[in-house]
Amino acid sequence: MSDINYTALMLGKDLKYNEKITIHVPTINEITNMSDKEFNNLIKPFSITTREIFSGSPEIVDEMEERYPSLWDLASDKGGNEQIGNLLYGKNVTLRDMFISAFSYWTLSDKKDFSFLSNNKMINKKLEWIVDSTEYENFAKYIRLITLAEKNEDLIAPKNMSKNQMRVWKNIYKGRLRKLQKAEKVEMGDKILILQGSSNSFIPFEEIGKMNYYQFSNLIAVYSEKEISQQNLQIYTSYKFDTKDMKIKNWREKVSLKKTNMR
C-alpha cells in the first residue's frame, strides 16, 4: 500500500491508488444528491465483515469467518452471494452487484466495464485492473480511510465462546441491536448543521457543499474536540467540583488528521 498524502486529502484532492486508478473523494454536494442509505451502501462493501454479519448467530460465526474471511470471499459462494446480498441490500441484489456498483462509484468508472470471472476475480479491461481478494482488501483500506468507517465493536461476537456464553451473547446482541435501531439517526443534513453551529465564524453552506467528505468529517471532529475541551475547562475553573487531580490539555494537542481505519 502506497503512502497516503493526508494533507492533499485535507485540501480537497482525490486519492491516487496507482498509476492508472484514482479514488474519487466525493464532495458533500455530490453525496447529498443521493440518500444517506445509498451512500452507506457504497461504503458497506468495504467496511462490513463476515464476523459482523453472522454475530447474531454465535453457533456458526467462528466457522463462517474461517471459511469466508471477508465479504469478497462470501461473494464467491453462490448462496452467500445471493442471500447475503439480499440481506444487506434488498431483494434481487447480490454481493457482486454491489461490488461492481461500489468500485465504479469510487473510481468514477462505468459499471459496464467491470465483470466477474469464474475464478471470483473481477476485471476492468479499460483500467487494466484485476481485483482478487488481496486487491479488494487493499482497496477497501482506502475507502475506510476516506469515509472514516468504523466497526461497531458492541455488535461483534467474541471468539471461541462456550454454549453458555453463546446463550448470554444472544441476549446481549438482541438488546444492543434494538437500542441501535431505536436510536435517532444522524443524517447528513444534521451533520451540516452541527458543523455550521460549531464554527466560531459563519461558514457559508455553499462552502460546506464544496468540501470533500474527508475534510468535512475532520472539521466536525475538530469542533467536537474543542467543545469537549471547553467543557472540561469550565469544570476545572468551577468551585463546585474537586479538580485538584484533573489535568487540562489544550484542544490543539489532541487534534490531528484522521489516519485510522486502515485495518
Q: Tell me: do 156 and 248 sit in the same domain.
A: no
Q: Tell me: do 165 and 237 sit in the same domain.
A: no
Is residue 227 included in any domain, yes or no? yes
d(CA 79, CA 167): 27
pLDDT, position 150: 84
Structural domain boundaries, residue 197: 188-253
Residue ending a domain, choose from 153, 182, 211: 182
pLDDT, position 188: 83
The mean pLDDT of 69-89, rounded to a whole number, is 93
User: What percentage of the chain reaches a pLDDT higher than 70?
Assistant: 83
d(CA 188, CA 191): 5
Q: pLDDT tens digits, residue range 92-116?
A: 899 999 999 999 999 999 999 999 9
Nearby residues of 46 by Cβ (< 8 Å), 6 or more positions away: 102, 139, 140, 143, 144, 149
Q: Tell me: do 215 and 232 sit in the same domain.
A: yes
Q: Tell me: do 111 and 223 sit in the same domain.
A: no
Is residue 261 included in any domain, yes or no? no
pLDDT, position 238: 60
Structurally, how many domains does the chain consist of? 2
Is residue 14 included in any domain, yes or no? no
pLDDT, position 230: 61
Is residue 62 included in any domain, yes or no? yes
Q: pLDDT tens digits, residue range 151-184?
A: 889 999 999 999 999 999 999 999 999 988 887 7
Q: Tell me: do 171 and 215 sit in the same domain.
A: no
Q: Tell me: do 132 and 207 sit in the same domain.
A: no
Is residue 196 included in any domain, yes or no? yes
Q: Tell me: do 178 and 137 sit in the same domain.
A: yes
pLDDT, position 195: 81
What predicted TM-score, i.e. pTM, was given to this entire model? 0.83
User: What percentage of the chain reaches a pLDDT higher than 90?
Assistant: 60
pLDDT, position 240: 62
Is residue 159 included in any domain, yes or no? yes
Q: pLDDT tens digits, residue range 231-262?
A: 665 655 665 655 556 566 655 555 556 665 44
